[in-house]
Amino acid sequence: MNVQTMMNPRVKFAGTDASVADVVLIMEKHDCGAVPILNAANKLVGIVTDRDICLALGFRPLPAAGIPITDVMSKRVYACTPEEDVSAALQTMRSRKVRRLPVIDANGRLVGILSMDDIVLHAEDNFGETVKTLKAIYRRPVQRRELAARAS
């Protein structure tokens, strides 16, 4: 099964000129937790999650409207194509520990978004892989200092 069969083609996005407040409004209005960021040529240049925004607002003494989204967004974006097999997308999610992949066409233009929510809703076809991916994403890294402290 390919990504196009599961992705949400009605993805909401923001431009690089948006503020954090602008993106929060998009998230609230469209009930989404991640917003891809596009440049003036409509190419994907970043993605921001509700967690990114929460952490950014906690450390900046500025109102959300005064913080450019480009200061908060993740510039390293992992994406997939509509033709890609869902198994390959799940592998990307597992290895990169992300729950959402923007879907881009051959020209780098945003055509949708694939989330773990979308995949879980279609899980009959790939239930084992879906659970394996969720476990990999949610697994916490071992705290080496904590282990060393316990050994003492």
Cβ 37 vs Cβ 59: under 8 Å: no
Question: Strand, helix or coil at 84?
Answer: coil
Q: Does pLDDT of 70 surpass 70? A: yes
- On the 0-12 / 13-18 / 19+ scale of CB atoms within 10 A, 29 is exposed
Residues 6+ apart with CB under 8 A from 141: none
Q: Which CATH superfamily is domain 3-151 in?
A: CBS-domain (3.10.580.10)
**More confident call, 113 vs 61:** 113
Torsion of CA 119, 125, 127, 128, to 10 degrees: -120
pTM above 0.75, yes or no: yes
Give the tens place of pLDDT for each residue, 100-120. Answer: 999 999 988 999 999 988 888
Task: Label residues 135-144 b or e (16+ Cβ within 10 Å = b).
Answer: eeeeeeeeee
Residue 134: which pLDDT band, with cuts at 50, 70 and 90? confident
Residues, the chain: 152
CA distance 107 to 44: 10
Cα 103 to Cα 140: distance, rounded to the nearest angstrom: 27
Q: Where are the domains of the chain?
A: 3-151
